[in-house]
Structure 1
Amino acid sequence: MTAIAIVTGASRGAGRGIAIALGSHGCTVYVTGRSQERGRDGLPGTIHETAAAVTQAGGRGIAVACDHSDDDQVAALFAQVAEEADRIDILVNNACAIQDALHAPGGFWEKPLALSQMIEVGVRSSYVASWHAARMMVPQGSGLIVFTSSPGSVHYCMGPAYGAHKAGIDKLAADMAVDLVDTGVSAVSIWMGALASERLLAMIAAQPDKYGHLTAMLEPTEYTGHLIHALQADPDLRDLSGQVLIGAELGRRYGIARPDGTFPPSARDTHRVEPPRQFPVIVR
C-alpha cells in the first residue's frame, strides 16, 4: 500500500529534500508551505515545484498552500488529506520561521524580536500538526510522527530562539511517545547534520573562511527523507519511539550512505554532544 505522507515547510531546504526522497520510494506526499511564487523571502523554491519533483521522483506530489502559524489552515490541510487519502502514515514536522537575522552578530536583544517566531511557528505548529495527525493515526493503529531537529538543542547555536525551538521539538517527540504508547503510532526527533540547502550553500559561498569547513560534512537535503522511509518500515520502530535520533547514525544502521558512498559524521564526533536523556518518571 502506498504510504501517505505530509511534509511541512517543504518549499525548499530540508523539507523539499525529504519530500522528494519519500517520493522516490513511491509515497504520496502532501507538500505544504507558504511559497507559491519563486523569489519569496529572497530564496528559490515553491510548494508546486517541490510537488512536481516528488512526482518526477516516482511518487505523487500534492501541493497544499498552508501557513502553519494559522490553525484554521492546518485544520483544512488535514481535512483535505482525510477526504482524499483517508489515512496518514508519516507526518514530518519541518515548518519553521527562519530569518537571515539569525546569523547576524550580537546578542539576542540586539536582533529583531521577530526571531521569536522560530518558537511560535516551529514548536507550536509542530504540536498542532501532530495533534491533527494523531487523531487520524491512532484510530488506524499505525503512523510515524517525525520532528526535524539538530544538535543545537543541547548546545549554543545561533542564539536562544534557535536553541529553544530545537529543544522544544525534541521534548515534543519524547512526551508524545508516552501518550502514544500501545497505539501503534511512534514519534521521533531526528538530528540532521549540516545540509546542502540553498541557504547554507549561499552562506558558505559568502563566508568561506567561517563556514567552509562544513563542506566535507554536508548531508544531501534528501538524506533525512531516506532515513524516514527506512524508519517507517523498521519492525523495531516502536522501540525507538520517543527518542532523539542522530541522522548520521541512522544512516549507518540502515546502510544509507551519501551519493559518494560515504556516511556523514555523527554529532557525537564533530561536536562531542549526544541526545538528551528522557527519564522514565511519568506524572499525570
Structure 2
Amino acid sequence: MIKNTINKRVALVAGATRGAGRGIAIELGAAGFTVYVTGRTTRMQRSEYNRPETIEETAELVDKAGGHGIAVQVDHLNPDQVQSLIERIEREHGRLDVLVNDVWGAEYLAEWNVPVWKHSLKDGLRILRLAIDTHIITSHYALPLLIKNKGGLVVEITDGTAEYNAENYRLSLFYDLSKSSILRIAWSQSKELEAYGCTAVALTPGWLRSEMMLDQFDVNEENWRDATKKEPHFIISETPRYVGRAVAALALDPDLARWNGQSLSSGQMAKVYNFYDLDGSQPDCWRYITEVQSVGKPANALGYR
C-alpha cells in the first residue's frame, strides 16, 4: 500500500554514508525531500572500508535538516539488494524524483603514481567494480521508477569535469578510468532519459573536506585551515554540503532539462543558482586548480572563493 506521502518528492542517494553523499542527502532533506540513504556501514556492521560513519547517522541528519531520512543497508554490487530497495521505494512512496549515484569507497585500493603493470590487478579491478558497476546496477533498477514522472533527475557524482579529465591524468589508470567513465555514463543516460522528460548530469565537487580528508590532515571542520600548513592548496577546499546544495538546486529547478547530459561542478552551479558553502564563500575549485595549482603559482584563493 502506498503511503499518503505520495505527493512529496522522493530521492535516493546511493552511497550516502559519508562525504559527498552525506552532504547531498542533508541538503535534499533541507529542501523537503524524503531521502533514502544507502551504504554498507551501519551501527551494527562496518564495511571493508572500515570507517565509523553510518547510514543511520546520515538519516538522522536528514531529519534534522527538515526532511525525512530513511537508512537502508545496501551493497550496490548486489543486484538483488538494489532491486529490493527500489521495490521498497515504490511500495512506500510510489515514485522516485531524484537518483544520486555516489557509490565509491575505493580510495584505499588505489596505488597513486604506479603504472598499470605494477598496480595490484585485483585491487584495480575492484576499484572499477565499486566505481562503475555500482552506478550501472543502481540505474538499471531505479530508472523504471524514476521515468514514471516527468522532471526526474539523475546525478552521477564523479571527480573532475569532462574538460579537466580529458586533459589530465588522474595519477592511476584505474582511478582515471573510473572517474572518466562516470562522465560518459551520465551522458549516455541523458540520451536514454530525454524522451521521458527526465534529466541526467555528471556533477563533481571540488577538493572535498570529507571526514576522511580531514582525518588525513589531522584537522576537523572548525580548524581545517591548519591543514594548509601541510598542503597550501587545501585553501580552496569545500564542505560536502556545498555539492549537496548544487544537487538540491538542480532538483528544484523547473528548467532542469537545460543541463541534460552536461558535466557540472559545485563551483559552477553556485554561481548559477547563487548558493554558498557553510562559511559563506563560493569556492571554484576546478578553475583554481587550472589557473593556480596546475601552473605552479603560490596557493592563494583570492578571487576563487
Q: TM-score, normalised by structure 2?
A: 0.82
Is contact 2:242-2:278 (8 Å) kept?
no
Counterpart mapping for 1:222-241 below 5 A? 222-241=241-260
* Match 2:147 to one of 122, 138, 159: 138
Alignment partner of 1:157 is 2:165:
no
Matches within 5 A, 1:1-284: 1-37=7-43, 40=47, 41-102=49-110, 106-112=114-120, 113-151=122-160, 153-154=165-166, 155-205=168-218, 212-271=231-290
Q: In the TM superposition, what is the alpha-carbon distance from 1:121 to its structure 2 partner?
A: 2.2
Question: How high is the sequence identity, in percent, across the aligned residues?
Answer: 32
1:209 Cα offset (Å): 7.9
| Structure 1 stretches of at least 4 aligned residues deviating more than 4 Å after TM superposition | 206-211
Whether contact under 8 Å (1:194, 1:214) holds in the other structure is no
Normalising by structure 1, we get a TM-score of 0.88
Closer/same/farther in 2, CA of residues 246 and 141 from structure 1, 3 Å limit: same
Distance change in 2, residues 1:262/1:94 (3 Å): same
- In structure 2, what is the equivalent of residue 276 of structure 1? none
Measure the CA separation in 2 of the matches of 1:210 and 1:69.
Answer: 39
What does the per-residue CA deviation read over 1:102-157, in whole Å, with 9 as the maximum and x for residues that have no partner?
25563344343223222112212211211222201222223100011122743222
Deviations 1:168-223 (A, max 9, x none): 11101111111211311100000210111011112233995896224311111111
1:209–1:110 distance in 2 versus 1, CA, 3 Å: farther
**Equivalent pair of 2:29/2:68 in contact (CA under 8 Å):** yes
Question: Unaligned stretches of 5+ in structure 1?
Answer: 274-284
For the residue of structure 1 that corresponds to 2:218, the secondary structure is helix
Q: 1:169 to 1:104 in 2, by over 3 A?
A: closer
Q: Distance in 1 between matches of 2:186 and 2:113?
A: 31
Deviation at 1:98, TM superposition (A): 1.1
Unmatched runs of 5 consecutive residues or more in structure 2: 1-6, 220-225, 293-305
Q: Name the amino acid aligned to 1:143.
A: G
Q: 2-side partners of 1:70 and 1:264: how far apart?
A: 37
Match of 2:299 in 1: none
Give the count of matched residue pairs: 273
Secondary structure, in 3 states, of the residue corresponding to 2:217? Answer: helix
8 A contact 1:148–1:191 mirrored in 2: yes
SS at match of 2:268: helix
Supply the distance in 1 between the matched residues of 2:244 and 2:12 (Cα, whole angstroms): 12
- RMSD between aligned residues: 2.3
Partner amino acid, structure 2, of 1:28 = T
Rounded to whole Å, the distance in 1 between the matches of 2:15 and 2:178 is 15
Q: Secondary structure of 1:140's match? A: coil
